Chains A and B, each alone.
Chain A
Amino acid sequence: MAREFLGGFELMVLLAVIKLGEEAYGVTVAQEIEASSGRTVAIGSLYLTLKRLEQKKLVTSRRGEPTAERGGRAKTHFRVTAKGVKAASHAQRTLMTLWGGVRQLQGEGA
Chain B
Amino acid sequence: MNKPAPRLATWLLIRFSSGPHGEAIAGDLMEQYAARPSRWWYWRQVFSAIRADIVSTVRDNKWRTAAAIGLGWVAYFAAAFPATWLVRRSRLITQQWLSDIDPQWFLFTLHAQSAFIIGMVCLAIGWSVAKATRRSAPGAVCLLAMTVLIFEYGMIALRFATMPSPARPLTTAELVAPALFVLSRPAGILLGGLIGMRPGIQPANGVTRLGSS
Q: Which A residues, 8 to 28, have Cβ-Cβ distances below 8 Å to chain B?
A: 25-27
Beyond the given pairs A27-B31, A48-B56, 5 more chain A to chain B contacts, judged by CB atoms under 8 angstroms and listed by A's residue number, are A42-B49, A43-B29, A71-B30, A72-B213, A73-B30
Are B211 and A27 in touch, CB under 8 angstroms? no
Q: A26-B25, A51-B21 are in contact. Are A71 and B48 (CB under 8 A)?
A: no
Residues of B within 8 A of A42 (CB): 44-45, 48-49, 52
Q: Is the CB of A99 closer than 8 A to any CB of chain B? A: no
Interface residue stretch chosen among A62-70, A80-88, A102-110: A62-70
Q: With the chains together, A27 CA to B50 CA distance in Å?
A: 17
| Residues of B participating in the A interface, judged by any CB pair closer than 8 Å | 5, 19-21, 23-32, 34, 44-45, 48-53, 55-56, 201, 204-206, 209-213
Q: With the chains together, A79 CA to B80 CA distance in Å?
A: 53
Q: Is the CB of A76 closer than 8 A to any CB of chain B? A: yes
Q: Is the CB of A44 closer than 8 A to any CB of chain B? A: yes
Interface size on A, residues (CB 8 A): 25
Nearest chain A residue, comparing its CB with the CB of B203: A72
Q: A26-B25, A51-B20, A51-B21 are in contact. Are A72 and B52 (CB under 8 A)?
A: no
Residues of B within 8 A of A6 (CB): none
Q: With the chains together, A50 CA to B21 CA distance in Å?
A: 10
Are B27 and A47 in touch, CB under 8 angstroms? no
6 interchain residue pairs of minimum CB distance:
A73-B27, A72-B205, A44-B49, A44-B52, A70-B27, A76-B24
Q: With the chains together, A42 CA to B45 CA distance in Å?
A: 6
Residues of B within 8 A of A45 (CB): 48, 52
Are A43 and B50 in touch, CB under 8 angstroms? no
Residues of B within 8 A of A73 (CB): 23-24, 26-27, 30, 201, 204
Are A44 and B204 in touch, CB under 8 angstroms? no
Are B27 and A44 in touch, CB under 8 angstroms? no
Q: A66-B204, A69-B34 are in contact. Are A47 and B21 (CB under 8 A)?
A: yes
Residues of A within 8 A of B53 (CB): 44, 48
Q: A51-B56, A73-B23, A74-B23 are in contact. Are A43 and B28 (CB under 8 A)?
A: yes
Q: With the chains together, A84 CA to B31 CA distance in Å?
A: 28
| Residues of A participating in the B interface, judged by any CB pair closer than 8 Å | 25-27, 30, 42-45, 47-48, 50-51, 61, 63, 66-76
Q: A42-B45, A42-B49 are in contact. Are A25 and B19 (CB under 8 A)?
A: no
A41 CB to nearest chain B CB (Å)? 10
A28 CB to nearest chain B CB (Å)? 10
Residues of B within 8 A of A66 (CB): 27, 204-205
Are B32 and A69 in touch, CB under 8 angstroms? no
Q: A66-B204, A73-B27 are in contact. Are A43 and B34 (CB under 8 A)?
A: no
Residues of B within 8 A of A48 (CB): 52-53, 55-56
14 contacts between A and B (CB under 8 A): A30-B32, A42-B52, A43-B29, A44-B25, A44-B48, A47-B52, A51-B21, A68-B213, A73-B23, A73-B26, A74-B27, A75-B24, A76-B23, A76-B24
